[in-house]
Structure formats: C-alpha cells, structure tokens
Structure 1
Amino acid sequence: MRSDTRTAYHPRMTLSPPFSPEGNVLVVGGGLVGASLAIALDAAGCRVTLVEAAAPRADAQPSYDERNLALARATVNGLDAIGVWPLAAAQATPIRHIHVSRAGEFGSARLDAATHGVDALGWTLPARELGSALLRRLDACQRLVRLAPASLVGLTQCDDGWRAQITTQEGEQHIDAALLVGADGTESFVRAQLGIGAEVHDYQQTLFVCTVTPERDPANRAWERFSDEGPIAMLPLAERRCGMVLTVASDMASDVAAMNDAEFIALAQHRFGWRLGRLSRPGKRHPYAIRRVAARNLIAHRAVLVGNAAQTVHPIGAQGFNLGLRDALTLAELVAQAADPGSHPLLERYAARRAPDREGTMAMSHDLVRFACMPQAWLAPFRSLALLAYDRVPPLQRVLARRGMGFRGEPPHAVLERVP
C-alpha cells in the first residue's frame, strides 16, 4: 500500500477515547495473502479488521491475456482448508510433470506427480479466478470487518497494541488492535512505519509475462529452462495455451517491449527451444522489474509482516504467493490457539517457525538464478551433473519434489490436508 499522506509514528502515549483493542487483529492489505489471512482468522473465531486499498469487485470476463498463477500443492491444500479452493478449482489446470533444463547443456531434471504418489504437483489458475474466489469467501465471513477502499495513514503504539488512523470514503476512523499485520506488499507502508529495514537486491532483470499458444499440447507439463540471458518458464493452461514467463536483462527491456509479435515470439522460441513445437499468438506483454526485498525482522511490538511485505523473492519457481500463504496460515494457526494474539512469545514462535521455510525458499530462488544463469563455461558440467543427480537419485528427487510442492520446515497444519 502506498500513501501520499504525510504520517507520523508515535511511541506509547495516552489516547482519547480510551484504548480498547479487545483482541482485535488488524490486517493491512487486502491482496491475495491479506485476504487469505483474514479468512483463516475469521474461520478460527478471531475478531479481524481488514483494510483494503481498493473497493471489492468481481473482475470482468476471462481474457486471453490475463495473468496466471502457479500454485504449489501445499498452497492448494491451504486454500481448500479455508474454503477458497472449491470456489476456484473448476478453472484450474493441474501440473503433473515438471521439466528443468539449461540451454546448450546435457543435464535435465524431471518430476512426475505419479512417481511421488499425488495427482498433481501443483496447479495453474488465472489470478482473476483466485481473486474472485477470495472475494466470495470474504463475503461469507461472520466476524470480519472490511474497510474498502481505505488507507492506513497513521499508527500510534500503546502497551497493549496499536491505534490505527484509517481514511475511508466516509471519513477518518480509528481502529484499535492487539495485533497489527502488514500484508501490504513489497513497498510496505506498515513495514516503514514500524521502522523495520529491508535488504534489497536488484537482479538487473525484467520479467515479461504473457500467454502463448504452442503447436503441441503442453499436456499438464510445466517447463523451466535456463540460459545465460536468464530463465524462461512455460506453464500449462486450459485450451492448450501456456503462460510464458521470459526474463531478460534490464538494459534490454525497452527493446523487448518495443518488439512486434513476430519479433517477440522469435526471441521466445530461441530461448525456449522447440519441445512444444512452434509458438504463436503472443498475448499482451506485461513487464516487471525484478528485485529481492527481504525485511530484516518479521516482528515488532505487537506487529508482524507477511507475504511480500516480509519478503519479495525472485519469481523463479513461482514461490511468491505460495510462500506468503504459508506465512498467513502459520500466523492464523498460532493466533487461533492464543488468548492474546499480539503477545511477544506468540510472535517469536511465529518468526521461529517461518525461518526455515522463508530463508530456505529465498536462498533457493536467489542461488538458483545465479548458478543456473552464470555464463562461465566451466560451470556447465557441474550444472548438468547436478540436474542429472536430481533426476536420477531418488532421495534427491524426493527433496526437490517436496520443496517444489511447498512442504519445507514446519508448515502450517492446513497445508498438510489432502485435496478431496
């Protein structure tokens, strides 16, 4: 969430009217992670206020060009546990095979759902469909208070929580909360107001996301292919389409953005190869500059960060929302078991539980893009041998599959439930 309103962060002070948090949890940010957290907390019987920057609305009709999400198996389990997945499952496409390779090198790694005893390793889903499912599930919440459109413009810290100054279309409101949750994205206003710094790494890369139609049916197969220029991914979609994610050096981004369809598809074909035959019908291209932003702390006085406010990772492996949902469901699980949702022991437990998953996922995405895309020729045999080991050594493949499906560290119990 961004705000142009000049704000001040006040330390502990006497408030009028009297401060009364009454166990309320204030979630700032109504995106995919914030909405999921609000639903999970409401289902657990917690009092929740959700501040959303945009007014809720159902998106328009499906579009060839719409953005698509890659959801890990653990993510779908979690969405099912909070009642969201049944509202979106009909529009999802299962990923039953994953193929990882590098251009010009002999090694490759393949994952197959049946080998690991599951019906799918993950699913692809239009972001619009997930947003619509979350909106319908939010409408069914019993205790949740939603403020939308609304913006957080000020915070006052007290011994027992926070008083938040919120602007809405009806005017200014003050919300008291025993726990403040920042789920407001990479440029988190909450993170800044809490005084939590962030480590930023600019990859000097730009991502182009679009839909293409391959000559051959992707047949529920996802592809990740690396090269000196960066990774390219293909995700299976309905109607024999693919969601393509093409990474280029930032100094090439303007040239790529200016390409016509024929030029762009020729670049994509060169980078991906011909495993799916000829690519065609590139949809509208959406560029995104890639940065890693990691909060130096996840918790503060009666406050916690989740999702992109806590960490924004390189999109390789599509871990962003998947990691953020595990943040949300872990926090909801702990809050549901506690008398005081903002107590310091609870927040320390949250940070400790999230550390292995968070740090491991960030390290994996960061190290993989560096190791797999470095142009040094001497690295080629080591990369190929590593891929072959993951492909041929069952214990290594099980580790790769488990982490790819979103099971790392001590995951929230909700993601361990099997999809019916």
Structure 2
Amino acid sequence: MTERTDILVIGGGLVGASLAIALDAAGCDATLVEAAAPKREPPPRYSERNLALARATVNGLRSLGVWPHAEAAATPIRRIHVSRVGEFGSARLDAAEAGVDAVGWTLPARELGHALQLRLDACTALRRRAPATVRALQPVEDGWLARIDDADGERELHARLLVGADGTASMVRDALGIEADTHDYAQTLFVCTVTPERPLRGCAYERFSDDGPVALLPLTDDRAGLVMTVAADEAERVSALDDEAYIALAQQRFGWRAGRLRQPGMRFAHPIRRAAARRVVGPRAVLVGNAAQTIHPIGAQGFNLGLRDALTLAECVIGAADPGDADLLHAYAERRAPDREGVMAMSHGLIRLACLPQPWLGPLRSLGLLSGALVPPLRDALVRHGMGFRGQPPRAVLEQVP
C-alpha cells in the first residue's frame, strides 16, 4: 500500500527537524523520515559539541517554539574578539554598540537536539517515521516515490515535494543527479568543553595561525567550548594526547587571554571538507542544510545557514496549492542564492586568507581586521551578517515579524 503526503522530508537532524516543525505549525501535510530513533535522555555537560547560534537563528527557534526548551542551557555572546598570532591587528565587535543584548548564543548541540525532540513531540499534523531506512527514491510523474523500512516493515511513500535534509553524503542529492563541488581542507576539527581560569563573560574568541583557527566560546557555569583545528596529518597524534598534553597544545595555540584552561571534557574529532551542491532544486525536490552545502566550520555558520534554508522553504510552500511547483522551487533557489553564496565564499576565503603562512600578508590582514572593527559601514555590515541577516531572510528570523 502506498501512503500519500504533500511534503516528504528525508533527514531528521537539526535542519530537517526544524523544517518539519515549521510545516506542522502551519498545518501542512508533511512526513519526516528519521534514520535514528528519537533520543530523550538528558545530555551530558562535558562531552559536547557546541554550536554558536546567530541572533537570527535564535529568533527563528523562538518562532518555532523550540527556544523555550533550550534557553536555560544557552549563553549569550555579547562580544567577539578576532585576532591572529604574531600580528598587530584585531577586531572587537560589541552587541551593545549594535543596539542589541547579544549578537548570538552558544548552546551544546545535544541540548538543541533535545529541544527539537520535545517540540516534535508536540506536533499534531506531522507524521514521523523513525527509525527508518530509505531503500530507494524514484521520480514519478507527479512527485517522488520513496521505499522505506521502519518498525512496521517496508512501505511506500508518495510525495509531491521531496526535501533532502540528509546531510553531506545526501542520498536525495544523488537521486537527483546533482553533483557537488568538494574540497578537502586537510584539517581535522577537535571540539571539547573546558573551564577557563578567567570566565569569558559573554566574549567569544576566534584566533588564527598558520596551523588553523582556534575558538573559545562562552558556556553556562563559566565553562567554555574549545574548538581547535589541526592539520589532518597531525590528527592521530593529537587524538592520542592525554588531557594534560592536549590542554598544553590548546594553550599554546590560543594564548592566555582566558588564563589557564582546565577540566577538558570528552574530545570529538571531525575531518573538515567542503561540499557545495551545484544546484539546490530539481524536479519536485529541494536540498537544504548540509545536503545543499557543507562548509568549513570557521565562523560557525553551518547550522545557521541551514536553518535559514528550512525557514525560507517553509515560508515558500506554506499555503501553496502545489508545494512541488517548478516556479515555486526556482523562486526559493533565487531567494536563497545571495545568503548561501555569500556565506560559502566567506568561510572558504577566510580560512585560506587568515591561515596562509606568507609573512607579507600580515600587515594586510591586520589592516583588514582593524578596518572591520573601526570603519562604521564595514563594522555594521560585519555585525549584521554575523547575526544572520543577509540577503532576504525568512520572516521568522526578523526582529519584528511584519
């Protein structure tokens, strides 16, 4: 027997779940297929990847009813300090100067996942298939046919719109025949939680060097999220370090602005690769989040960009007579292009420029940082873009919804 649904979302990660919630809130006929069963256990404090959520992202999560479940675990970012080892220039951005209480918030990823699950549990129109495995995707005249396995066995789902929110190695993207431009940065990202000797008090740090960026993000209870990039050929050695040696390396890379770093939590390592889909829409199908673009984590823009994908798509399809209409999907892609291309260019260009070892670039980099902090038009643009307001944002992320 074939079940019919207007919108089929493949992938129940942070972006796919957010899209499903937005569709449910509008009463859309939607189905979410999730590979893993929902997890509802309380998240640990010292074994977490941490997210830097832009102000626009938090506005969007508020509009979805997700933020009340996560707010207690979030920490406001009121200042951002950017510098490079051995160079005189630095940039300091302040929320108060921008007229806001925070430019963003930090939140453990599992806390956000937990909040999304709580909000998904309250959905009334959404159908969820979890855990479920997608066995095949087949285009048909008026949509897509998906064959999935779940706890009840094999079933077929017919959708007028197929949404790929299934990550970097997207099955939906492959089914659409969309190629992705890839780039291996030959870097590995290590993340963990630490306790700095001097509390960050709402300040987020990003520090560049020839070896890659290091970030320190404020968390609750005077903790901090440590994000350190190392060369891929050094990853195995760094993984084998004990806590004392690992903290010594992080201290050497980051410096002493926060005093001595202590109490490292569980470490997680992630190879860093870029994958940008050459198109984000196809016949009755669309890609969002990492399926559309997986970017370098510098600037922590991945989920922020993906949520704007999801909320813009929801805004386009809600109320539409046919959510898979070609003109509608083309309009979605056109609307997302400036934000998507701008963030991808920024993340790719910044890592290549800020971490290049050529000494002659030092004065230019320093002047660039100083200009971004001291020249009002440049500073205002940096702050606005950093807060997630670029191009034509979805209404759900604006400060005041018209």
Q: Same fold (TM over 0.5)?
A: yes
Distance in 2, Cα, partners of 1:234 & 1:191: 34
Q: Kindly state the Cα deviation for residue 417 of structure 1 after the two structures are TM-superposed.
A: 3.3
SS in 1 for 2:370: helix
Distance in 1, Cα, partners of 2:37 & 2:64: 22
Aligned to 2:67: 85
Aligned to 2:286: 304
Aligned to 1:3: none
2:46 touches 2:192 (CA, 8 Å); kept in 1?
no
Q: Kindly state the Cα deviation for residue 168 of structure 1 after the two structures are TM-superposed.
A: 0.7
Q: Kindly state the Cα deviation for residue 110 of structure 1 after the two structures are TM-superposed.
A: 0.6
Aligned to 1:132: 114
- 1:142 correspondence with 2:124: yes
SS in 2 for 1:209: strand
- 1:401 correspondence with 2:386: no
Q: Which amino acid in the other structure matches residue 271 of structure 2?
A: A
TM-score with structure 1 setting the length: 0.94
Output aligned runs, 1:95-106, within 5 Å.
95-106=77-88
Distance in 2, Cα, partners of 1:20 & 1:64: 43
Aligned to 1:185: 167
Distance in 2, Cα, partners of 1:44 & 1:384: 48
Q: Kindly state the Cα deviation for residue 44 of structure 1 after the two structures are TM-superposed.
A: 1.5
2:3 touches 2:156 (CA, 8 Å); kept in 1?
no
Q: Kindly state the Cα deviation for residue 60 of structure 1 after the two structures are TM-superposed.
A: 3.3
- 1:336 correspondence with 2:318: yes
SS in 1 for 2:396: helix
Aligned to 1:293: 275
Q: Which amino acid in the other structure matches residue 394 of structure 1?
A: P
43, 50, 68: which is aligned to 2:25? Answer: 43
Q: Which amino acid in the other structure matches residue 389 of structure 1?
A: S
Aligned to 2:45: 63
Aligned to 1:219: 201
Deviations 1:362-400 (A, max 9, x none): 000000000000000000000000000011111100000
Q: Please identify, of 134-143 and 360-369, the stretch whose mean Cα deviation from structure 2 is larger.
A: 134-143
Q: Which amino acid in the other structure matches residue 350 of structure 2?
A: L
Q: Which amino acid in the other structure matches residue 351 of structure 2?
A: V
Q: Which amino acid in the other structure matches residue 186 of structure 1?
A: T
TM-score with structure 2 setting the length: 0.98
Q: Kindly state the Cα deviation for residue 20 of structure 1 after the two structures are TM-superposed.
A: 7.8
Q: Kindly state the Cα deviation for residue 104 of structure 1 after the two structures are TM-superposed.
A: 0.3
Relative to structure 1, the CA distance from residue 298 to residue 61 in structure 2 (aligned partners, 3 Å threshold; closer, same or farther) is closer
Q: Kindly state the Cα deviation for residue 151 of structure 1 after the two structures are TM-superposed.
A: 1.2
Gaps of 5+ in 2: none
183, 190, 208: which is aligned to 1:201? Answer: 183
Distance in 2, Cα, partners of 1:140 & 1:61: 20
1:59 touches 1:128 (CA, 8 Å); kept in 2?
no
Aligned to 1:6: none
SS in 2 for 1:317: helix
- 1:174 correspondence with 2:153: no
Aligned pair count?
401
Distance in 2, Cα, partners of 1:84 & 1:418: 18
Q: Kindly state the Cα deviation for residue 63 of structure 1 after the two structures are TM-superposed.
A: 2.5
Distance in 1, Cα, partners of 2:138 & 2:233: 43
SS in 1 for 2:22: helix
Deviations 1:133-164 (A, max 9, x none): 11111111111000000011112212211111
Aligned to 1:281: 263
1:213 touches 1:240 (CA, 8 Å); kept in 2?
yes
Q: Which amino acid in the other structure matches residue 287 of structure 1?
A: A
Q: Kindly state the Cα deviation for residue 360 of structure 1 after the two structures are TM-superposed.
A: 0.4
Q: Which amino acid in the other structure matches residue 226 of structure 1?
A: F
- 1:390 correspondence with 2:367: no
Q: Which amino acid in the other structure matches residue 342 of structure 2?
A: G
244, 261, 264: which is aligned to 1:262? Answer: 244
Deviations 1:249-281 (A, max 9, x none): 101111111111121111111111111111111
Q: Which amino acid in the other structure matches residue 273 of structure 1?
A: G
Same amino acid, percent of matched pairs:
67
SS in 2 for 1:57: coil
Aligned to 1:119: 101
Deviations 1:225-266 (A, max 9, x none): 000000000000011111000001101111111111121111
Q: Kindly state the Cα deviation for residue 57 of structure 1 after the two structures are TM-superposed.
A: 2.1
Distance in 2, Cα, partners of 1:418 & 1:134: 23
Distance in 2, Cα, partners of 1:282 & 1:78: 32
SS in 1 for 2:210: coil
Aligned to 1:32: 14
2:210 touches 2:356 (CA, 8 Å); kept in 1?
yes
